[in-house]
Chains A and B, each alone.
Chain A
């Protein structure tokens, strides 16, 4: 039953927040923080058990012969832990950021429902459950995207829905079809379709539908257009949902799809992994190059997200064990680094009304702690050791080379250089002397500052501790190894 708690606790928090209403501020803060801390505790307890090899699972019958099943395996827990722990951090930030905003009950309520859905995506034991929570995630995010109610937000929200719901429809068709030919398909490391492997035509079509469905949230090129627009949402939403929960749900779906539904072997022999890898590679280049040209800070970060997400997709689509480890580790590393950047961007906008890169001159003197955290995250994202990003990019590149796909290694190196290109201007401008005198007052509200410093420090700490058991890298290696029979990271 414990395995349901990471889903049910946030649901409870969300519903309570709605019922508390707009005015009971203190109680809302208390309920949300307590819920987040408690959920994090549950997830960590599940992780400890999973490290010992005990996988908790539970299911409820939903449709005849079809159950909604959750299972706390290491791969799912990695995503769940990232979402839940960062939820707690983001809450603190959001209390500061939203202090004077309207409709806070609605905001925090849906926020909690998003985390519940993300945890459902993470812990689902089969495609049906994953689909159910994937769609719930879309629904729970919509009110957050359009939170301000402005025309711009409504347009962005509409576009988000078009993409996400069309992707959901493709996903549904793929899942129903797969179930029609293969019955329930529980996630099985190495693949679960051995019995129907002969139906190649159908399996290829289903793969295309499923990858297309996940590709919307994972922002593959062509399906990415909702993401930059969705950045009109309040900064904590961009930070947690668009760098962590929503987009990672798509990337995570890709990992499940390749490693645990089809399995690397079948995906390669069907010839479906290679096109996916190619699309992901194009997305990486596309996102990085477009990011270079953005002046709006959040848009630049959004395109960077598009590029970085495809590291994960490409990593699993290469079907090399080491690259897959890098991909899964990147799921966690990128979350920590990108959330730092979005938090910082939110602080800049909220405290100093800076929304453009060109207005950033001298900000480093004004907000040293914020910009130092931003720098730590930037170094990580560019893949500079010993920051966290290095420890996902190295196995990615090494895995690609090891499996004879040197083009991918070169691509990772190139995009690392491009990342330097689109991130360096932030740091260069920040340390420049200010063009105009700025009002003092400097760093933002401590409720916003401390979360930034914590996640910024994590970008370094996760890298320094990459070799320690329990670090994202070690965790990813353990989660991925079973998908590759005969391969061991040690």
Chain B
């Protein structure tokens, strides 16, 4: 059997098989199974990425059934970049979770210890499927699968608040998915196909098709939590257990964004849904400002980090008004957004994981009550500092590379105001990050030392590594550039480097 040809399926099946084994293995052996799965998944993802770089985008028809009836998987540079991101951050989250959900010898596993591993691998598999799927109906299925496992993961935290947050998340998720499906129905009524490539060929001016796509895009914006459809995100991301928060904020919102990207760049012809791209860009700008201000007002670290996600998601949507200009502007903006998605994922996961350690060590995450953290838990403070540099978009972080590229694209397009938004967003991020870091640097006063003393926990090194990755991500930009060039849309626009 030719293994290489089946790589896309292997990438999806690997975590799915791991999830099943973890479920059977029970709470004590599940962590080991999950770590093994995470490590093993990296190989096919890297292989697939290398293949895309060498041979360009590939299509895979499951079971040999092609469109319009069969299920088609598509791997190009964009999906490979996101798959790689999920694999690396996923491995980090998994390693961290082994410490977070550690069962002390002799004690019984607490609630959440057993289910976490299966649900997490299941969500991972669904995310991989979402990133590879080549038809719009399968996107619906994958979105539902991701949403279901994500909601279940949020409820693993104890107390009534996570349940409340999870239900809000679930209802938002249902609304989004059903709206998306209605859109698919209308699109199918107009075109008779579901395959993205066939859609791209057959889309013409049609009220049904345009309404359908508009509904689909609106649903995806709800899933990606673009202001003002972000209401479900802060509570859900903040209430979840930290390894779950990290995966939700870093990876899950990127999944629905990825589909939005596909629809706009690969499916719709330029100028389709006229005006929607600019409207989305404006909402993105509002999100940056509004989310940052909300982050500045939060009293708890996890809520601060969650609102920061609302803000940072805004940058992703600045792509669409810039993409209109095509050519060089499109390439630079797409690369910028791609780098931003990666940098944000590393930084955000590291902050949520570090917030989890803060909770464990200090028993709370109230910002005002954490002076002296830089001294008592230097690794946590360093994690927030390094990740914060990415949020602020200062060099040499990935956030800087992203903001430079987006601002360059904006200035090259003549629409300088998008560059101004990027800069203002960076300053606001500095304000909310330094508000936290200043408390960490403050003299601890007479406060007692936290439980656990000044010993550094094993789990603290994972978030630090992720934060360091986001801090140095500029070094990975050449690779990301090659991946971006291995996607159809950038190739058409004439490459990233003019």
Contacts and interface: CB of A to CB of B under 8 A. Distances in A.
Contact of A143 (B400, B405, B441): B441
A64 B372 contact: no
Nearest to B430: A165
Interface residues of A, number: 38
A62 B472 CA distance: 11
Contact of B438 (A102, A135, A157): A157
B interface: dominant SS: helix
Interface in B474-498: 474-475, 477-478, 481, 496-498
A61 B477 CA distance: 9
A173 interface: yes
B478 A149 contact: no
B412 A180 contact: yes
A172 B335 contact: no
Nearest to A143: B441
B442 A176 contact: no
A64 B444 CA distance: 45
A168 interface: yes
A149 B497 contact: no
A138 B394 CA distance: 10
B408 interface: yes
Interface string A122-143: 0000000001100110110011
Interface string A103-131: 10010000000000000000000000001
A142 B430 CA distance: 12
B389 A139 contact: yes
A431 interface: no
Contacts of A158: 434, 438
B419 interface: yes
Contacts of A165: 392, 427, 430
B426 A149 contact: no
Contact of B396 (A62, A138, A149): A62
A64 B481 contact: yes
Interface string B406-433: 0110011000100110011011001000
Interface string B439-481: 0011110000000000000000000000000000011011001
Nearest to A62: B474
A176 B430 contact: no
Given A149-B443, A180-B411, A161 B430 contact: yes
Interface in A452-482: none
A146 interface: yes
A450 interface: no
A169 interface: yes
A455 to B, nearest CB: 30
A62 B443 CA distance: 38
A342 to B, nearest CB: 22
B389 A176 contact: no
A63 interface: yes
B401 A63 contact: yes
B327 interface: no
Interface in A73-90: none
A103 B498 CA distance: 49
B441 A154 contact: yes
Contacts of A151: 442
A177 B411 contact: yes
Nearest to A157: B438
Contacts of A179: 408
Contact of B441 (A62, A65, A149, A172): A149
Contacts of A172: 403-404, 407, 423, 426
Contacts of B164: none
Nearest to A61: B478
Interface string B351-390: 0000000000000000000011011001000100000010
Nearest to A68: B396
A136 B438 contact: no
B463 to A, nearest CB: 16
A180 B408 contact: yes
A96 B372 CA distance: 25
Given A63-B477, A169-B426, A169-B427, A131 B438 contact: no
Contact of B497 (A64, A68, A106, A166): A64
Given A135-B394, A165-B427, A149 B372 contact: yes
Contacts of B56: none
B395 interface: yes
Contacts of B405: 63
A58 interface: no
B395 A64 contact: no
Interface string A143-157: 100101111001001
Given A131-B395, A146-B438, A158-B434, A176 B419 contact: yes
B267 to A, nearest CB: 26
Contact of B427 (A68, A102, A150, A166): A166
A184 to B, nearest CB: 12
Nearest to B416: A177
A143 B388 CA distance: 14
Contacts of A176: 404, 407-408, 411, 419
B408 A168 contact: no
A150 B416 CA distance: 41
B423 A150 contact: no
A135 to B, nearest CB: 5
A203 to B, nearest CB: 14
B477 A62 contact: yes
Given A154-B442, A172-B407, A132 B426 contact: no
Contacts of B427: 165-166, 169
A173 B423 contact: yes
A136 B400 CA distance: 12
Interface string B224-260: 0000000000000000000000000000000000000
A177 B404 CA distance: 10
Interface string A162-205: 00011011001100110110000000000000000000000000
- Top 5 nearest A-B pairs (CB, nearest first) are A149-B443, A132-B395, A180-B411, A169-B423, A64-B497
Interface of A: 18, 61-66, 68, 102-103, 106, 131-132, 135-136, 138-139, 142-143, 146, 148-151, 154, 157-158, 161, 165-166, 168-169, 172-173, 176-177, 179-180
30 contacts: A62-B474, A62-B477, A63-B477, A64-B477, A64-B481, A64-B496, A68-B396, A102-B375, A131-B395, A136-B396, A139-B389, A142-B434, A143-B441, A146-B438, A149-B371, A149-B442, A151-B442, A157-B441, A158-B438, A161-B434, A165-B427, A165-B430, A166-B427, A169-B426, A172-B407, A173-B419, A173-B423, A176-B404, A177-B411, A177-B416
